């Protein structure tokens, strides 16, 4: 191209420019309308302290992440206030810079062709886009891990011990240690790795530089020790299973067989059509594989033998090196071949991002803002001035941000810790609302949904979001209504018109037993049980238990609700327990579902019946991490 030659612009520079523009568009598209998620709200709420000392003691030591990003958010909010776009922008910029750094590292390690395809993959994958759009430690952690690697390579393999390289390596590695536990771990294994490739006097310089990184970390050691004593990241993760790595790569490649095929074909064809003769490439292939493997095994073993910490985001900081490894054999391509594969990967990656993963629909319509927006619209639709609103979330300040933004009253009914209470029952009994708006967010239990379905005749509207649901309940048919989604009902009652439990003594009620093979279950099914109780005390110690046992009688998963959480003064009390089966699907053949009351004290308890039904959640509720197909 004459224009490119005139201004000395090479094909590679043009391609890199295209990749950076693509990465920017995919991350910055409509970013001013990106809503906050739970993790971001958690960081914002923990930044609301008057001084740095309180922030560290109450907002950082109680968390599982290092102090760096939380302190940054603390001061950033003081300057710019709490706005989605202003808080997310620095993290998005880190994500874009990371794409450029992947190119620079891959070019240094394996050559320009390998670098182009490595950077392109990082640019279009939802995994890296999602964590770039999240105001949490992931994007800056990745950025500084990559920056550290760039200058680590110059020191260790190029022996370029000048002031610029030393200072930038120290700065990048030190910031990474303050950003995320696994960017800290990466700096550690990177520093150790360098020792195996150094000889002679240079060794002492390298050791001294890395000792400085340790010294710079000393102010954070007490925070690290306090957080390690907690052991886990909140107790909500399950231990990883043997399918973690296949699931991880399915997720990173958009759960798309077409995208998988495109990447595999690209890697195979591009790698076999030419030979990469880059000097030292095998060392970097080994390093890439070791960094990924060591990080995974460390997190996996810690999760199995101490506390679960392994999740997809854990591997973000070493994921680019696996991508570089995959494309490390690519070299000396003909220009037309290179462009064909760049266009192909771009099209398949972006199309699967938009359609298969529905990233821009799910990410830009989150639960907290989506529920409140629906309440605002439905209040106008049904002409309700003072709507009855019931909201359920880990921290109600998360909803209140969007209520204030939509000029809605903060005086709504709050469900705390997922617990139903007599006051909710009194609200419905005494106020008798014509319409009730209900929303839950962030993996809250579904007991309240079952309760409201049981207490209202109609559902006028329902919307699903990632980790969230919204309902409009009514006893009056104002408009069209939708199904309550109650299927495959079963019930146990005593045929002699007595009770399935009627005693002061501790013990078990007659169980409701169902062969799971007879149920039409899929991974989005929810199992609901309802116990009708005639007599109980407010402090009765008993559980409504749901247990699934395999064909040999071994419990596959067990869960329960405390019946005193549902106590109220009226004669009859209903207890609700609902459980998603997603993480336990598929259920093994020959299994049995048992539902029963387990009483553990001497208070009198009289149970009339236990009822069972199946409902469903929508795929979008897991959609940012899981496949959207049933």
Does the residue 534 lie in any domain? yes
pTM score, whole prediction: 0.92
Does the residue 46 lie in any domain? yes
* Whether 334 and 391 share a structural domain: no
How much is the pLDDT for 233? 54
* Whether 351 and 399 share a structural domain: no
- On the 0-12 / 13-18 / 19+ scale of CB atoms within 10 A, 134 is buried
Using one digit for the tens of pLDDT, what is the confidence trace for 13-68? Answer: 899 999 999 999 999 999 999 999 999 999 999 999 999 999 999 999 888 899 99
How much is the pLDDT for 7? 57
Q: Domain range for residue 526?
A: 487-616
Q: What is the 3-state secondary structure (H, E, C) of 465-495?
A: EECEEEEEEECCCCCCCECCCCEEEEEEECC
What is the domain-level CATH number for residue 597?
2.60.120
CA-based end-to-end distance of the chain: 49
* Whether 443 and 523 share a structural domain: no
* Whether 347 and 398 share a structural domain: no
Using one digit for the tens of pLDDT, what is the confidence trace for 376-387? Answer: 999 999 888 888
How much is the pLDDT for 231? 59
Does the residue 5 lie in any domain? no
* Whether 124 and 139 share a structural domain: yes
* Of 474, 500, 533, the domain-final residue: 474
Q: Please list the ranges in the chain whose pLDDT falls under 50.
A: none
How much is the pLDDT for 584? 83
How much is the pLDDT for 422? 67
Does the residue 622 lie in any domain? no
How much is the pLDDT for 505? 92
Does the residue 139 lie in any domain? yes
* Whether 314 and 373 share a structural domain: no
Counted domains in the chain:
3
DSSP 60: I
**Residues 523-559 as b or e (16 or more Cβ within 10 Å = b):** bbbbbbbbbbbebbeeebbbbbbbbbbeeeeeeeeee
Does the residue 4 lie in any domain? no
Q: How many residues does the chain have?
A: 630
* Whether 182 and 265 share a structural domain: yes
Q: How far is C-alpha 274 from the geometric centre of its chain's CA atoms? A: 40
* Whether 528 and 504 share a structural domain: yes
* Whether 336 and 413 share a structural domain: no
How much is the pLDDT for 570? 63
Does the residue 574 lie in any domain? yes
* Whether 353 and 289 share a structural domain: yes
* Whether 502 and 379 share a structural domain: no
* Whether 24 and 151 share a structural domain: yes
* Of 321, 343, 363, the domain-final residue: 363
């Amino acid at each position: 191209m004459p224009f490119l030659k005139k201004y000395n612009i090479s094909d590679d520079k043009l391609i890199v420019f295209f990749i950076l523009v693509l990465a920017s568009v995919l991350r910055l598209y409509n970013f001013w309308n990106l809503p906050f998620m739970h993790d971001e709200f958690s960081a914002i709420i923990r930044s609301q302290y008057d001084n740095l000392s309180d922030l560290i003691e109450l907002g950082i030591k109680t968390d599982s992440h290092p102090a760096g990003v939380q302190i940054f958010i603390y001061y950033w909010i003081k300057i710019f206030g709490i706005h989605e776009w202003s808080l997310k922008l620095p993290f998005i910029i880190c994500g874009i810079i990371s794409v450029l750094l992947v190119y620079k590292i891959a070019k240094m390690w394996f050559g320009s062709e390998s670098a182009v395809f490595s950077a392109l993959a990082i640019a279009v994958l939802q995994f890296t886009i999602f964590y770039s759009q999240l105001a949490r430690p992931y994007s800056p952690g990745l950025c500084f891990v990559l920056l550290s690697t760039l200058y680590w390579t110059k020191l260790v393999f190029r022996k370029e011990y000048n002031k610029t390289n030393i200072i930038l390596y120290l700065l990048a590695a030190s910031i990474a240690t303050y950003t995320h536990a696994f960017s800290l771990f990466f700096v550690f294994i990177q520093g150790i790795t360098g020792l195996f490739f150094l000889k002679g006097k240079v060794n002492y310089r390298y050791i001294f530089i890395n000792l400085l990184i340790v010294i710079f970390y000393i102010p954070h050691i007490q925070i690290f020790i306090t957080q390690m004593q907690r052991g886990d990241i909140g107790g909500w993760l399950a231990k990883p299973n043997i399918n973690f790595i296949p699931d991880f790569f399915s997720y990173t490649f958009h759960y798309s067989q077409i995208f998988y095929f495109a990447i595999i074909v690209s890697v195979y064809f591009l790698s076999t059509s030419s030979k990469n003769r880059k000097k030292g490439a095998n060392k970097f292939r080994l390093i890439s594989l070791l960094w990924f493997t060591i990080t995974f095994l460390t997190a996996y073993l810690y999760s199995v033998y101490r506390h679960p910490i392994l999740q997809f985001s854990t591997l973000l900081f070493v994921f680019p090196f696996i991508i570089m490894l995959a494309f490390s054999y690519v070299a000396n391509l003909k220009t037309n071949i290179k462009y064909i594969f760049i266009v192909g990967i771009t099209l398949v990656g972006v199309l699967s991002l938009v359609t298969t993963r529905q990233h821009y629909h799910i990410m830009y319509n989150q639960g907290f803002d989506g529920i409140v927006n629906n309440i605002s619209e439905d209040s106008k639709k049904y002409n309700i001035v003072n709507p009855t609103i019931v909201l359920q979330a880990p921290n109600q300040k998360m909803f209140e941000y969007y209520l204030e933004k939509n000029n809605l009253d903060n005086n709504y009914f709050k469900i705390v810790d997922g617990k139903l209470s007599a006051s909710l029952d009194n609200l419905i009994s005494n106020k008798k609302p014509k319409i009730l708006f209900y929303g839950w967010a962030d993996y809250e239990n579904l007991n309240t949904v079952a309760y409201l379905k049981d207490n209202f005749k109609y559902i006028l509207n329902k919307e699903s979001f990632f980790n969230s649901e919204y309902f409009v309940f009514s006893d009056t048919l104002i408009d069209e209504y939708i199904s309550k989604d109650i299927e495959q009902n079963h019930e146990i009652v005593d045929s002699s018109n007595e009770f399935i439990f009627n005693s002061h003594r501790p013990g078990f009620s007659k169980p409701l037993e169902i062969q799971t093979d007879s149920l039409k279950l899929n991974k989005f099914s929810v199992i609901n049980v309802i116990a009708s109780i005639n007599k109980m005390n407010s402090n009765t110690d008993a559980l409504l238990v749901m247990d699934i046992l395999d064909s040999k009688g071994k419990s596959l998963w067990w869960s329960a609700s405390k019946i005193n959480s549902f106590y109220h003064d009226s004669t009859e009390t209903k207890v609700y327990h609902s459980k998603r089966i997603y993480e336990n699907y598929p259920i093994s053949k020959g299994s049995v579902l048992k539902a029963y009351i387990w009483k553990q004290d001497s208070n009198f308890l009289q149970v009339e019946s236990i009822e069972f039904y199946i409902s469903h959640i929508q795929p979008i509720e897991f959609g940012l991490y899981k496949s959207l197909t049933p």
